[in-house]
Amino acid sequence: MDNLKEIAGKFLPVEEIEEINSICSGLINNTYFVKTKAGSPDYILQRKNKNVFPNVPAMMDNILKVTEHIKGKVTLSGGDPEREAMTVVKSKEDEPYYKDESGEYWTMSLYIPDTISYESAATNELARKGGEGIGKFQRQLEDFAQPLYPTIEGFHDLKFRFKQWDKVLKSGNRERIDECQKEIEWIEQRRGKMEDFWHLVEEGKIPKRVTHNDTKLSNILFDKQGKVLCVIDLDTVMSNTILADFGDAIRTFANTGKEDDENLDNVELDIEKYNSYKEGYLTEAGEMLNETEKEYLSFGPQYITYEQVMRFLMDYLQNDIYYKIDYPEHNLVRTRAQMKLVESMENYFSK
């Protein structure tokens, strides 16, 4: 706690800080709520995972550029740029991060009060609003023309993932590879279809745009009236196909079970939530999409959930080096739950 206070003090006057509490969310970073004395704004402090993010200064540069662009749009439309966009707080040394003595990177952002975030979508209306929120985020960035640093190599890039996959099958934990023959075969069966789809991205028929790349429901902030305020967790803002954002949102908004559900009977694509999300999304982003993007929209959730299967399984086969786990089999349980979700999507959509 004292150490956390000292770190938060690199961004704020220490005497303003009242208490700091851990927020248990996310599979990658460590996140804390910094409560300050009455009358001052509160903050979110994060220790970025340096195994996952090799260049935090470049990542923060992406986030600053993107949030400033969005704030400009919000201001132009008469909104409140401190509520409708994430605000990065700079350190006392005027950097968007603080690097501590052990080489860990810390960042701070403004906490937006009177907001709600959800782990699952209880109603179709929430899914529709979520779709609108992500659609709006992408539209706000449609004319963003600055290059973005590729924060994580090969993120949501199937060609890269298959290279990684082939390596992991050679060098991974042999016992676990033997244990997972069924899952490995499941991935291989769908490989050709996924590679065919990825060619459309490589050929530019499906263009690269500015995308969030982690559009799960818990990364969207709603106000108390149920309106989407803004999208948070911009760590992976990069250039990618918009289908990745559509797909990753559906992976969480329209799953009747949990991402790591042990009971596979719970896991299905909720087609009503899917349709509601899609409807909301298209009202905001519909005009941006080209014909191929529209044609492949329903394939977005399949490919991104399939990639998630590979990512969880590769992590399991490499002895859990990437995602936080709560128990030894956690990544395998996640793998199986995501496989079930892909199968359910396949039953609804032929492509």
Q: Which of 5, 9, 26, 193 binds ligand GN1 (CB under 6 A)?
A: 26
Q: From the DSSP assignment, how many helices (H) and strands (E) are in the chain? A: 11, 11
CB 153, CB 160: distance < 8 Å = yes
- The count of residues interacting with ligand GN1 (CB under 6 A) is 10
- Listed in sequence order, the DSSP H helices in 40-85 are 56-76
The nearest distance, CB 211 to ligand GN1, in angstroms, is 12
Is the Cα dihedral 281, 137, 86, 64 positive or negative?
Answer: positive
In Å, how far are 13, 177, 256, 348 from 41, measured between CA atoms? Answer: 12, 50, 37, 46
Which positions from 32 to 71 touch ligand GN1 by CB under 6 A, shown as an x/- string? --------------------x-------------------
Q: Which of 132, 157, 183, 233 binds Mg ion (CB under 5 A)?
A: 233
In Å, how far are 172, 239, 267, 275, 279 from 154, measured between CA atoms? Answer: 19, 11, 28, 29, 30
Which single residue brings its beta carbon nearest to ligand GN1?
28
Task: Name the residue nearer to ligand GN1 (CB basis): 235 or 293.
Answer: 235
The nearest distance, CB 214 to Mg ion, in angstroms, is 4
Q: Is 132 in the site for Mg ion (CB under 5 A)?
A: no
**H or E element at residue 43:** strand 43-47
Instruction: Give which of Mg ion, ligand GN1, none residue 307 binds (C-beta under 5 to 8 Å, depending on kind).
Output: none
Q: Is 245 in the site for Mg ion (CB under 5 A)?
A: no
Task: Name the residue nearer to ligand GN1 (CB basis): 36 or 165.
Answer: 165
Instruction: Give which of Mg ion, ligand GN1, none residue 132 binds (C-beta under 5 to 8 Å, depending on kind).
Output: none
* CA gap 148, 59 in Å, rounded: 9
The nearest distance, CB 216 to Mg ion, in angstroms, is 8
* CA gap 70, 65 in Å, rounded: 9
Q: Is 214 in the site for Mg ion (CB under 5 A)?
A: yes
Q: Taking contact as CB under 6 A, which single stretch among the options 23-31, 102-110, 121-129, 142-150 is the one that binds ligand GN1? A: 23-31
Map the footprint of ligand GN1 across residues 288-327, applying CB under 6 A.
308
CB 88, CB 67: distance < 8 Å = yes
* CA gap 297, 288 in Å, rounded: 13
Q: What tokens were used for 83?
A: 């509520």
Query: Contact positions toward ligand GN1, by CB under 6 A?
Result: 26-28, 52, 214, 233, 235-236, 259, 308
Residues contributing to the site for Mg ion (CB under 5 A): 214, 233
